[in-house]
Amino acid sequence: MRLYAAVAVSGFRRYATYRMATAAGVFTNTVFGFILAYTFTALWAERPRLGGYDQAQALTFVWVSQALLATAALLGGGFETELQERIRTGDIAIDLYRPADLQLWWLSADLGRAAFQLLGRGVVPLAAGALCFQLDLPAAPLRWLSFLLAVFMGLLVSFALRYLVALCAFWLLDGSGVNVISMLLGVFCSGMLLPLTLFPGVFGEIVRMLPWASVLQVPLDVLLGRHTGWSLAGALAFQAGWAVALLGLGRLTQARATTKVVVQGG
């Protein structure tokens, strides 16, 4: 356990060294926040209470999702390219002989990264949004706590998805196609592009049940107070269910990949 804590800390530190890149990222998130905030303002001016949100809630949605963008690694930028590169070059064989669990190792590193980016790239854009727009941020500390819990669960799901994508490199020579599809689904089905409650009909029903919903949509709904009491428990259970299922699938895949490496010698 101490090993994984150390891995997480080094993941945090690694990203903390890039101060200029962090500042640049904050700037970009803020710029996009402004652009989307204006379009959402226009959209909610046409249809107040669209998707069950009032305007302040919609704007909160925009700014918090910009704040979580880097943390959730929806546009990539996490560990996956590095892992794919290790698989492609065969360095993964070294990792497999380490007395540490491969999945836990990368999960710890990714959580360390996410923790840094939540602070380094989350706080400033959200503060900028709160200064310039009327947001609906809760005052109750308990709400924030449950939000952070939901973010954490979302991170587990996000990691599990990206881990599966990265492992594809064991079987595919060129992983760029899978990466593109993964990014596509991540942006579209998480609520990053548009809150999932705006998706119409059965299509919307399905998208809201997919694992990507737990990365962004669920934490945001928790923050906006749409899940309380038993509904909150249900939302967290939804996330936990996907996390367990996908992490388990990751372990299975990893086991098959390992046999493949051992049999073929890398």
Partner 1 sequence: MVERWASGLRGYGLIVAMWIRATMVYRTSFIINTLGNFLVTGLDFVALLLMFSHIHALGGFGLPEIALLYGATCSSFGLADLLLGNADRIGQRVRDGSFDILLLRPVPVLAQAAADRFAPRRLGRIVQGLLVLGWGISRVDVNWTIGKALFTVVMVISGAAIFSAVFIAGAAFQFWAAEASEVSNSFTYGGCTLLQYPPTVFARELVRGVTFVVPLAFVNWLPALRLLGREDPLGLPGWVSCCGPLVAVAALTAAGLIWRAGLRSYRSTGS
In 3D, which of 153, 163, 104, 146 has the Cα closest to residue 231? 146
The whole-angstrom separation of Cα 252 and Cα 136 is 42
Instruction: For the segment 200-259, give every residue that binds partner 1 (CB under 8 A).
Output: 200
Residues whose CB falls within 8 Å of the CB of residue 138, separated by 6 or more in sequence, listed in order: 144, 223, 224, 225
Q: For residues 74 and 191, is the Cβ–Cβ distance under 8 A?
A: no
Whose CA is closest to 235, among 248, 220, 247, 245?
220
The reply to whether 5 sits near partner 1 by the rule CB under 8 A is no
Q: Burial level of 169, CB count in 10 A (0-12/13-18/19+)?
A: buried
Name which of 180 and 252 has its Cβ closer to partner 1: 180
Regarding 139 and contact with partner 1 (CB under 8 A), the answer is no
Q: Is 21 one of the binding residues for partner 1 (CB under 8 A)?
A: yes
Only one of the segments 29-37, 79-87, 158-166, 237-245 lies at the binding site for partner 1 (rule: CB under 8 A); that segment is: 29-37
117, 202 contact by CB (below 8 A): no
Phi/psi at 76 (5° precision): 85, -165
Residue 39 contacts partner 1 per CB under 8 A: yes
Closest separation between CB of residue 28 and partner 1, Å?
5
Q: Name residues contacting partner 1, limited to 117-136 (CB under 8 A).
A: none
Tokens of 231: 């509904």
Among 5, 184, 237, 255, binds partner 1 (CB under 8 A): 184
Query: Cβ 164 to partner 1, closest distance in Å?
Result: 18
Between 176 and 230, CB nearer to partner 1: 176
Q: How far is the CB of 101 from partner 1 (least distance, A)?
A: 32
> Binding to partner 1 by residue 180, rule CB under 8 A?
yes
Q: Which stretch binds partner 1 (CB under 8 A): 3-11, 141-149, 155-163, 183-191?
A: 183-191
- Rounded distance, CA 88 to CA 102, Å? 16
Considering CB under 8 A, how many residues would be counted as binding partner 1? Answer: 36
Which range in 45-53, 108-116, 215-223, 227-235 contacts partner 1 by CB under 8 A?
Answer: 45-53
Residues that bind partner 1 (CB under 8 A): 18-21, 23-25, 27-28, 31-32, 34-36, 38-39, 41-43, 46-47, 50, 174, 176-177, 180-181, 183-184, 187-188, 193-194, 198-200
